[in-house]
Amino acid sequence: MSETNCTWFEERLARDDLPEAERRAVEAHLSSCERCGELYGLPDSLSATLTAPVAMEMTRTILDRTSGSSCSRAESRICESLDRDPDPVNRELLELHLRSCEACARLVPALQRLSLDLPHFATLSPDPFFVDDVKAVTSARPRGWPTRLHAGWKHWLMRPRASWELGYVGAMLLWLVFGAPISPVRGAHTRAIEALKQPVESIARTDVGWTDDVLATAQRTWQATRGIGRESLRGWGTDLKQRYRASEATARRLGSRSLEIGTESIHRALDLLSAEAPSSAPEKQDRNSIVNEGEDDASNE
Amino acid sequence: MLDLATILERCRQGDELAWEALVRRFQSRIYATAFHYVRDADEARDLAQEVFVRIYQRLDSARTDGFLPWILRVARNLCIDRLRRTKARAPLSDRRVEDGVEISDGSPGADQAWLTNARQRLVYRALDRMSDKSREMILLKEIQGLNLKEIAKLLDAPIGTIKSRSNRARLELAKTVLTLDPSYGA
């Protein structure tokens, strides 16, 4: 075979669109020319030994040793191709993979079927009374900012972390009241705990004025409560007024009784103190007069 | 069919008929969404009702565009709150999916009849085996048809995360269905 024939053969070897006559001539040259047979016949003979399963196994082995399995990429391409048409290159690459990977190939029809089946789950009819129930619930609720405020507040409280937030705010408030340097009652809790640890007698002995303060505060509170009650009920019906008077009389009796009990308790405590410390007798006298005055005021009321 | 903007406007004016129309239009979607979350027909009904009460209270802030994502968001939040509160009850996997579907209706409508289809029961069973996150993605994207942007806004997550989560969920569902029935889709 001449050199020209070999050149002619090589020019036509890579072409797919050869006329039938030329294709036969190329095949004839390949089988007759020793040089071209060695050069270009080798791949054919090699591929003939690679059966499809062997080729697939070989591909898998090479991928495992290089880039890893391409199935995950193929799976994401399959999903993307369901959402929108892939570009031609991606489509062809995917098709090549699907031809050789049975697992991925099975996913395609399953995913396509799912995309048809799943939208049917979007609606599910409740019972026929559902609308009436919703109307009954909603028509009873006026819309507007108070409702929304109430709903918002309720929603806020129902959140799982609401308790945590409330705890945080509470802790901050406690710190501001009792721990902040600018707080007027800073350290009050410490003093209170210390006072609780001391015996009652020592508190009464060292801080004589506290019972006077308590009594005076009780009197003022009583008078203020009574005044508020009168103000709030002024102008109401006679029936209400009578009820108020009856309740006022009851409250007065209760107040007097409470004062009596309180006075008695204080007397007992002071007696105990005077038994221990004779010097505190004048103070007892003073407190007696204060208590009696308060009692008189209450009964006059 | 009346457009949503008109119905919403009438609802804001206090038209009870418009409100009824709105409830009728969205009730099956809300009920289905609640059912997918809680897997219990009675509870789903209660939740759906609560969703509509919530919508009614906030009608003034409802917008026509993005109305469906908004009501689905309300439904989702309520369902998740309910699930958190009732976490101590029996795990979902202990219950059969068909139980909920059968209980949900004494007189089967078109949707329930559809659910009795064997193929749909298979899909339902596969959905039941999925993780909560994956099932939620399937519910929002494949079932309710929200787009990735809407889901990202609803779940407060980046759109790329939602996209990959959605793909993973779809693949998980497909593989689960194929495990249950290898002939599905063939």
Q: What is the pTM of this model?
A: 0.53
| Cβ-based neighbours of B86, under 8 Å, separated by 6 or more | none
Residue A30 pLDDT greater than 90, yes or no: no
Q: Are B138 and B148 in contact (CB under 8 A)?
A: no
Distance of residue A110 Cα from the nearest chain B Cα, in angstroms: 4
A133 close to B (CB below 8 A): yes
B13 close to A (CB below 8 A): no
Residue with tokens 């080798």: A42
**Contacts with A119 from chain B: Cβ below 8 Å:** 142-143, 145
If we measure between CA atoms, which residue out of B173, B32, B80 comes closest to residue A119? Answer: B32
Q: Are B21 and B77 in contact (CB under 8 A)?
A: no
CA–CA separation, A188 and A207 (whole Å): 16
A161 close to B (CB below 8 A): no
Contact: A121, B143; criterion CB under 8 Å: yes
B81-131, pLDDT tens digit by residue?
888 888 755 544 444 444 444 333 434 455 555 555 788 889 989 998 999
A118-142, pLDDT tens digit by residue?
988 888 888 888 888 888 888 755 5
Chain B interface test: which of A76, A112, A123, A124 (most B C-beta within 10 Å): A124
If we measure between CA atoms, which residue out of B20, B81, B60 comes closest to residue A158? Answer: B81
The list of chain B residues with pLDDT below 70 reads: 88-116
Chain B interface test: which of A71, A77, A116, A121 (most B C-beta within 10 Å): A121
| Cβ-based neighbours of B104, under 8 Å, separated by 6 or more | A124, A126, B35, B41, B44, B112
Residue A55 pLDDT greater than 90, yes or no: no
pLDDT, position B143: 92
- Closest chain A residue by Cα to residue B175: A107
Task: Given the cut 0.90, state whether the ipTM is greater than it.
Answer: no
The end-to-end CA distance of chain A, in Å, is 142
pLDDT, position A205: 53
pLDDT, position B30: 92
CA–CA separation, A169 and A259 (whole Å): 40
pLDDT, position B150: 92
pLDDT, position B140: 93
- Largest alpha-carbon pair distance within chain A? 147
Q: Are A281 and A274 in contact (CB under 8 A)?
A: yes
B37 close to A (CB below 8 A): no
A224-247, pLDDT tens digit by residue?
777 777 776 665 556 667 777 888
